[in-house]
Structure 1
Amino acid sequence: MKLNSFGEELLKYVILFFFIYSVLYIFPFPLNSFTPLYFFERIFHQNTWHVIVPWFAETFLNNPDANHVQNTGSGDTLYDFVRCLLIGILSFILCTVIFLLFRSKINSKRLIYIGGQYIRYYLIFVLLTYGIIKVFKLQFGEPYLIRLVTPFGEMSPMGLAWNYMGFSKTYTVFAGWSETIAAILLIFKRTRTLGAVLSFGVMLNVFMMNISYDIPVKQFSLHLCVFSAFLILIDGKRLLNVFILNRDVSKIEYVKPFLKKWKNHTLQIAKFLFIIVFVVLKLISTIRRQDMYGDLGPKHELYGIYELNEFQLNHKKRPARLDDSLQFKRLIFDRPQLMYLQKMNDEGVYYVAETDTVAQKIYLKERDSSKVGFFDYKMKPESNVYEFEGIFKGDSIYFKTERKGREDFLLNNRGFHWISKYPFNR
């Protein structure tokens, strides 16, 4: 076999492998694109990967811990990485068998076209999904009040990154529009390469952020980078000629999947209807969720941070000591029906806090609904001073606090300045 022929055969093998891997990784898309069809994805995974991956890990990797755990928020579980390994092995086996049996019939150009179309619409789906929730600032909400009093060194790398993004609405919306515009450019044939370039840049930034701040979506964002790079490589020769070699390029003759015009028109209409319906449903669900969480979500009736400056336990004034495990340091009311109680030794715990604003009472419970106590509260006129008195775990409690809102912190009241005489780096 000549060297050129060997290279062509190797390229054909690589293209076939990548095609099979991409389909196995992405499927059951597009059947999971709409909420009413989510059950199909669940059933598919439950009867395939959720069974095969743990068996493979225990049998061949001697690791019984690769079971799928739902709703962890992590895309980098052991299950996810073993699944990727298994997809790679299955792709290699299928690719080798198909290549040996049907090598002469493999049409690389058709594989690139079909695979490119499948990957392109998958990227459109992912970019629109994440772009829209960033534009409406649902993925990165403003930092919770507890974060404003958490020492910088006590934050996890992911917590730091999440609050860094959530602090700035401008930057978060910009990131969302970058993903959304990349998706829009990918929709149209004339701009799909530009969309792929933008998608690669955006996803590379996301991947590096995930790597740098230990955000557990590393393998997923890496796949999106690779998929974007594949779409760029489809037009790689033309891009090389235009931007590097300064050569002329000929007009692209777009491939039509069918010979009859009406079939091609029908396919185009179906594609656009799919995208339009998806976008409309995504916008509707996102707008509805704004009232549930995020910056516009509901807040506690006493929303704020209450710093203690006087504390009495069983009618005895207790001096402030940092090692005191009984004295309160601050109360934080953020999300509805929740109160975070922090002690002087910085230990803290969440309680269910049912508030009656008419009677000015707070009823405290543990997460298991067992009662903890209650507080009566009152506010001094024209001040931020609140007094609390009641029973907490069988003890009589009285304490005086000063309320601080989000706007009382430098991070939120510094504002934006075009002109700065000195860098304000504090």
Structure 2
Amino acid sequence: MNSKKLIYIGGQYVRYYLIFVLITYGIIKVFKLQFWEPYLIRLVTPFGEMSPMGLAWSYMGFSKTYTIFAGWSETIAATLLIFKRTRTLGAVLSFGVMLNVFMMNISYDIPVKLFSLHLCIFSAFLILIDGKRLLNVFILNRDVSKFEYVKPFSEKWKNYTIQIAKFSFLILFVVLKLISTIRRQDTYGDLGPKHELYGIYELNEFQLNHKKRSVLLDDSLQFKRLIFDQPELLYLQKMNDEGFYYVAEIDTVDQKIYLKERDSSKVGFFDYKMKPESNVYEFEGIFKGDSIYFKTERKGREDFLLNNRGFHWISKYPFNR
């Protein structure tokens, strides 16, 4: 087997591997399933308390525009890699996209550092297959000859058959990936289900065993916030910023919330009353054997500057807070 055949076989393997990976990651970004809008708890987490990866996920998930742009960049690179005539252009785009991903991974301590580096190397390998012609065009200003594509078989019908098989498999892969991704939108991501009480509830008044407690920042017994964010979960945050997740079953008819630990052991229950016109919500019940009462004010995602600032083509002054 000559060197051209070996390069062809290696190039085919690398090309299709990149195609499948780029399509997979591209589609879940286009449908915003890899980076979803920041959880409500992120909006009240001090900047310095975020992990580097948590910061990166919040940064990407905040902007639907940028996330979809990143997804289309990967998808277009994969599409260009499919066809022989645009293979080199696809490899150049793939290298740029994956280099950005690799730099993000090492800068924000995201786990898949070596994987993204391998994808950069694979893209560079495809570029180098056509490297001499690229050097002549962009650097040496020389004429270039037509690229002679290697054909795996001498018989035309065999070459046509393998092309049809490859395209059929790619189409099937893309269709199945699209169906799977669209279905997953109903279970998580920005379009996933939300709590009936979805929001952040800031405490204005707190009573423990029918006694009102003064506000003390280091109080390990007094609660600060109730956050209904992920489906069937309640996050209770204390004044000392210590917080815990509990499984929450909400009965909207009787206006009750039943709390359990993740191992299904019972924690307690709350009755709740809503005054939506004033955004005041009251919770009263039993929590770990204690009688407890919260008077709260609800805050939604839209109440934070990060989400209500909006977009401005022209700004008279920088709005950097």
By the TM > 0.5 criterion, same fold? yes
Matched, 1:274 2:169: yes
| CA shift in 2, pair 1:300/1:165, >3 Å | same
Distance in 1 between residues matched to 2:179 and 2:74, nearest whole Å: 19
Matched, 1:131 2:26: yes
Distance in 2 between residues matched to 1:269 and 1:247, nearest whole Å: 36
1:118 aligned counterpart, secondary structure: helix
Identity of aligned residues (%): 91
Which of 182, 198, 205 is the matching residue for 1:310? 205
2:226 aligned counterpart, secondary structure: strand
Distance in 2 between residues matched to 1:380 and 1:310, nearest whole Å: 15
CA positional deviation for 1:336: 1.3
CA positional deviation for 1:107: 2.2
8 A contact 1:200–1:225 mirrored in 2: yes
CA positional deviation for 1:242: 0.3
8 A contact 2:225–2:238 mirrored in 1: yes
Q: Deviations over 1:103-158 (max 9, x none)?
A: xxx62221111000010000000000000000000000000000000000000111
Distance in 2 between residues matched to 1:139 and 1:256, nearest whole Å: 38
Which of 293, 304, 309 is the matching residue for 1:409? 304
Distance in 2 between residues matched to 1:117 and 1:272, nearest whole Å: 13
8 A contact 1:140–1:162 mirrored in 2: yes
Q: Deviations over 1:203-231 (max 9, x none)?
A: 00000000100101000000000000000
Distance in 1 between residues matched to 2:41 and 2:172, nearest whole Å: 39
More helix by percentage: 1
Distance in 1 between residues matched to 2:278 and 2:104, nearest whole Å: 43
1:324 aligned counterpart, secondary structure: coil
8 A contact 1:338–1:351 mirrored in 2: yes
CA positional deviation for 1:351: 0.5
Q: Deviations over 1:282-341 (max 9, x none)?
A: 000000000011000111111000000101111111001011111110000011110000
Distance in 1 between residues matched to 2:101 and 2:68, nearest whole Å: 15
Q: Deviations over 1:145-199 (max 9, x none)?
A: 0000000000011100010000000000000000000000000000000000000
1:302 aligned counterpart, secondary structure: coil
Distance in 2 between residues matched to 1:245 and 1:172, nearest whole Å: 38
Matched, 1:146 2:68: no
1:191 aligned counterpart, secondary structure: helix
CA positional deviation for 1:381: 5.0
Distance in 2 between residues matched to 1:208 and 1:366, nearest whole Å: 39
Distance in 1 between residues matched to 2:166 and 2:183, nearest whole Å: 26
Distance in 2 between residues matched to 1:260 and 1:274, nearest whole Å: 22
Q: Deviations over 1:40-92 (max 9, x none)?
A: xxxxxxxxxxxxxxxxxxxxxxxxxxxxxxxxxxxxxxxxxxxxxxxxxxxxx
1:322 aligned counterpart, secondary structure: coil
8 A contact 1:196–1:231 mirrored in 2: yes
Distance in 2 between residues matched to 1:334 and 1:176, nearest whole Å: 26
1:299 aligned counterpart, secondary structure: coil
8 A contact 1:301–1:336 mirrored in 2: no
| CA shift in 2, pair 1:177/1:317, >3 Å | same
Distance in 2 between residues matched to 1:400 and 1:251, nearest whole Å: 76
Residue aligning to 2:287: 392
1:374 aligned counterpart, secondary structure: strand
- Structure with larger RCO (C-alpha < 8 A, sep 6+): 2
Distance in 1 between residues matched to 2:52 and 2:230, nearest whole Å: 23
Q: Deviations over 1:329-376 (max 9, x none)?
A: 000001111000000011000001100011110011111111111110
Unaligned runs of 5+ in 2: none
Which of 366, 374, 396 is the matching residue for 2:269? 374
8 A contact 2:5–2:150 mirrored in 1: no
8 A contact 1:351–1:367 mirrored in 2: yes
Distance in 2 between residues matched to 1:185 and 1:402, nearest whole Å: 52
Which of 168, 190, 193 is the matching residue for 1:298? 193
Q: Which runs of 4+ in 1 moved over 4 A?
A: none
Distance in 1 between residues matched to 2:22 and 2:263, nearest whole Å: 40
TM-score (normalised: structure 2): 0.99
8 A contact 1:300–1:335 mirrored in 2: yes
Could you say what the CA RMSD is over the residues aligned between the two structures, in angstroms? 0.7
CA positional deviation for 1:411: 0.4
CA positional deviation for 1:256: 1.1
8 A contact 1:356–1:362 mirrored in 2: yes
Distance in 2 between residues matched to 1:117 and 1:185, nearest whole Å: 14
Distance in 2 between residues matched to 1:231 and 1:239, nearest whole Å: 12
8 A contact 1:389–1:399 mirrored in 2: yes
Distance in 2 between residues matched to 1:293 and 1:379, nearest whole Å: 27
Distance in 2 between residues matched to 1:313 and 1:387, nearest whole Å: 14
More strand by percentage: 2
Residue aligning to 1:289: 184
CA positional deviation for 1:253: 1.8
1:244 aligned counterpart, secondary structure: helix
Distance in 2 between residues matched to 1:112 and 1:369, nearest whole Å: 57
Which of 87, 94, 105 is the matching residue for 1:210? 105
CA positional deviation for 1:398: 1.0
TM-score (normalised: structure 1): 0.75
8 A contact 2:4–2:150 mirrored in 1: no
Which of 14, 19, 25 is the matching residue for 1:119? 14
Deviates further, 174-183 or 383-392: 383-392
Deviates further, 184-193 or 369-378: 369-378
2:140 aligned counterpart, secondary structure: coil
